[in-house]
Amino acid sequence: MSVSTDHPSSETSPGPSDAPPRASTGFIASYIAAQVGLYVVLLTPGMATIAVRLQQIDPVHKTENLSWVMGVGAFVAMLANPLFGRLSDRTTSRLGRRRPWLIGGAAVGLLCMLVMGTTDSVPVLAGAWWAAQAALNATLAALSALLPERIPREQQGRVSGLHSFAMYGAMMIGVGLASVIGQRPTWMFVIPGIVGLVAMGWFGLRLNDTRLAKADRPPLSVREFLSSFYVNPRTAPDYSWAWLSRFLCFLGFFCLSTYQAFYLTDHLHMPPARLSTFVLGSTVVQAICVMVSATLFGWVSDRVGRRKPFVFLGAALFAVSMVVVIFAADYPTFLVGVGLASLGIGVYSSVDTAIAVGVLRSPKTAARDMGVLNIANTLPHSLITVIAPPILVIGSNTPSNYTALFVAATVFTLVGAIAILRVKEVN
């Protein structure tokens, strides 16, 4: 089914009172397929291929190089998403507000992947990755804005769950591509880039995008520019509480995912030589559990018309999982804990985006507001490496108190769930 038949085109952007019609199965499938393609090119380098390429270029300094390449890249992504979202909201192109960013960002991303696969210079690789982060997050901002613009509230839980399915499905595809391609530097970057451009190009070209009249484009002042990265809690309380809830829950989730490798070697005494195999097994369990629970509970939340209970269910499952992980004495028990945590993350993810969409300030600034919300996803990933070390040394001279870290993760997540109670616009 053609995407273009699902939503008629418009010469102007939708007004604040406009509600999108019910989205067809064809449009939703195309939208999720585009997300899969984007996440393949966005996640695969960070998961596998950048580390492999740095090992090939400079094996002696691979750890230090990976740290600053990925660290700066995460910072660029955090800034680029809301910034380009703001620019997308103001785009008056004849091609529409979103299409130029959907296709243009993916095309620039592919060029950056080509540079990364052909260079033998670490600084050039780093610069290309940072440029790719900016370009691909421009695409992500425009794609995220289509959820509130094109999906009605009664379908947003289902699509929110499918979003998690797309992300973790892309992780599996990326790992599979990395395994098949092996050590060939050019193709291990270019093939994911081609996947991303083809998926986004197919979706973008068939999308009947809305067009913003130049007369309706608001002036861009310094204050408006800075608002791309900040929301005043006084003027948007529900939005701010939803942001805080997402930030705290992801901070708790990242405690486990970021430090699981060290936990396996330090607490369960797994042999370092086989660590990659153990982490891969954990990643597969995590992906499967998140995809299943997110898809199922996204559909259920739409059926019952409620979101908040699923936030608490996800937080409760994560809290139970931390107990299992803390007392795990072997790898299979650890996997049970990871599975429970992933089920909780999936349940939370199934309604998290739907809640965020429900409290957006205006349809006219959907990309900007979704970009600011995405900071709540990316910022915890950077902060956890600052917060965790002092927690890990509680009661010890060595950073090995994983019980304290996972208790803190539980507290972060439960407080994040409680914060959602302050959101009044969502049941």
pLDDT of residue 3: 40
- In Å, how far are 106, 140, 147, 236, 376 from 231, measured between CA atoms? 28, 20, 20, 7, 12
Residues 41/106, Cβ–Cβ less than 8 Å: yes
pLDDT score of 2: 36
Position 231 scores a pLDDT of: 67
pLDDT 10s digit of each residue in the chain, 427 long? 334 334 433 333 344 345 678 878 888 888 889 999 998 998 888 766 787 788 788 877 776 777 788 778 888 888 888 888 778 877 777 888 888 899 999 999 999 999 999 999 999 999 999 999 999 999 998 888 888 778 887 777 778 777 777 877 887 787 777 767 766 778 888 999 999 999 988 988 888 777 777 776 766 666 666 665 666 777 778 888 888 888 898 888 888 877 777 788 788 888 876 766 777 788 788 888 888 888 788 778 777 777 788 888 888 998 999 999 899 889 999 999 999 998 988 888 777 777 777 776 666 666 667 777 777 777 787 677 778 888 888 877 766 788 898 999 999 989 988 888 887 766 6
The contacts of residue 313 (CB under 8 Å, 6+ apart) are 297, 344, 347
Residue 161 identity? G
Task: Quote the tokens at residue 279.
Answer: 């982490």
Give 285-332 as a DSSP string: HHHHHHHHHHHHHHHHHHHHT--HHHHHHHHHHHHHHHHHHHT--SHH
Amino acid 168: pLDDT: 77
Q: How far is CA 144 from CA 80, 148, 163, in A?
A: 14, 8, 10
Q: Which residue carries 């809290």 as its tokens?
A: 319
Secondary structure of residue 1 in the 3-state scheme? coil
148-to-68, 104, 427 alpha-carbon distances in Å = 35, 22, 17
The DSSP code sequence of 214-253 is GGGPPP--HHHHHTTS---TTT-HHHHHHHHHHHHHHHHH
**Start-to-end CA span in the chain (Å):** 34
Tell me the C-alpha distance between 266 and 364, whole Å.
50
The residues facing 10 across adjacent strands are: 210
Q: What is the DSSP letter of 268?
A: S
Residue 136: what pLDDT? 93
pTM (predicted TM-score): 0.70
Token pair in block for residue 194: 């081609």
Do 146 and 200 meet the contact criterion of CB atoms below 8 Å apart?
A: no
